[in-house]
């Protein structure tokens, strides 16, 4: 039985005047799909430019690579895509001095229906759920996450830490920007009755929706749209009106 996909996305400026988040989904045929979320930074319009460059460059890279030589889900493929996005943002910064400080987080997921891989930079996150239970999540490239790894704060305390917006890596940074790419591909659930689900989101989303709540709402949802709607309702019940942009892409996979 071929793998079935059900996805849904929302993006919102939240309590801000503009939205510097961007997202994209792309298909390459034969059961090959990808999803991307980016959260731009830089101010004065630069953030939305950076995030849009990121998602457009990554989408184009996969489409062009698939057309030229087929589609592989190697770590090298994901690394090449991210290098292309890095180069595109750096080039745009040089061509448009008003955006000289722009950069962007990014998280992406790609699959051919048999395996899946993901990669990220910054504090936009991916969560993987196997049979409704959280199985894996990305680690932020941020000061609070480093404090967590050092044992100084818990993972949950990252959400409220005073330095939660201090990033150590991002697309557009001219220093160390090395992405994290899943070292081993995830073999997707092969048997009917078993499933995989994913969330890709910016920090404006995960700061307000807890991992246990993601599981609870997944179990209570028949579709990706239902899942996202339930989680967004939690977010809106908690924000104070001045909250950040937020974006979430939910993907359900089943046979």
pLDDT the model gives residue 70: 56
Spatial CB neighbours of 222, under 8 Å, sequence gap ≥ 6: none
C-alpha span between 3 and 84 (Å, rounded): 30
Spatial CB neighbours of 201, under 8 Å, sequence gap ≥ 6: 37, 107, 124, 125, 127, 246, 247, 248, 249
Looking at the 3D structure of the chain, how many domains does it have? 1
Q: What CATH number does residue 190 fall under?
A: 3.60.40.10
Cα angle value 242/125/131 (rounded, 5°)? 120
Task: Determine the angle formed by the axes of helices 211-219 and 224-238, rounding to 10 degrees.
Answer: 140
Task: Determine the angle formed by the axes of helices 46-69 and 75-95, rounding to 10 degrees.
Answer: 140
- Tens of pLDDT, residues 146-182: 999 999 999 999 999 999 889 999 999 877 678 999 9
Q: Which of 186, 234, 184 is nearest to 210 (CA)?
A: 234
Residues forming a β-bridge with 200: 126, 249
Full residue range of the structural domain in which residue 234 is found: 4-254
Q: What is the pTM assigned to this prediction?
A: 0.95
Q: Which of 40, 210, 60 is nearest to 123 (CA)?
A: 40
Host H or E run for residue 10 = strand 4-12
pLDDT the model gives residue 193: 85
For 54, half-sphere exposure in the C-beta direction (CA atoms, 13 angstrom radius) is: 33
The secondary structure of 88-99 as a DSSP string is HHHHHHHH-GGG
Residue ranges for the chain with pLDDT beneath 70: 1, 43-45, 67-72, 176
């Amino acid at each position: 039985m071929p793998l079935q996909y059900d996805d849904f996305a929302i993006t919102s400026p939240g309590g801000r005047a503009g939205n510097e988040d961007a997202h994209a989904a792309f298909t390459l045929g034969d059961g090959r799909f990808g999803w991307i979320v980016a959260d731009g930074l830089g101010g004065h319009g630069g953030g939305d430019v950076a995030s849009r460059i990121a998602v457009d460059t990554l989408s184009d890279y996969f489409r062009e690579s698939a057309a030229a030589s087929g589609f592989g889900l190697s770590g090298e493929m994901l690394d090449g895509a991210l290098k292309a996005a890095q180069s595109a943002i750096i080039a745009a910064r040089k061509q448009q001095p008003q955006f000289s400080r722009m950069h962007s987080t990014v998280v992406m997921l790609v699959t051919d229906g048999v395996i899946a891989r993901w990669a990220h930079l910054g504090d936009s996150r991916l969560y993987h759920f196997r049979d409704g239970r959280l199985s894996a999540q990305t680690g932020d490239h941020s000061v609070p996450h480093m404090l967590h790894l050092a044992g100084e704060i818990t993972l949950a305390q990252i959400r409220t830490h005073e330095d939660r917006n201090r990033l150590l890596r991002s697309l557009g940074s001219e220093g160390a920007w090395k992405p994290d790419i899943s070292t081993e591909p995830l073999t997707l659930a092969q048997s009917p009755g078993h499933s995989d689900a994913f969330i890709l989101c910016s920090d404006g989303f995960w700061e307000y929706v807890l991992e246990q709540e993601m599981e609870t709402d997944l179990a209570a949802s028949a579709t990706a749209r239902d899942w996202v709607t339930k989680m967004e309702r939690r977010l809106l019940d908690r924000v104070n009106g001045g909250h950040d942009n937020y974006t979430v892409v939910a993907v359900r996979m089943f046979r």
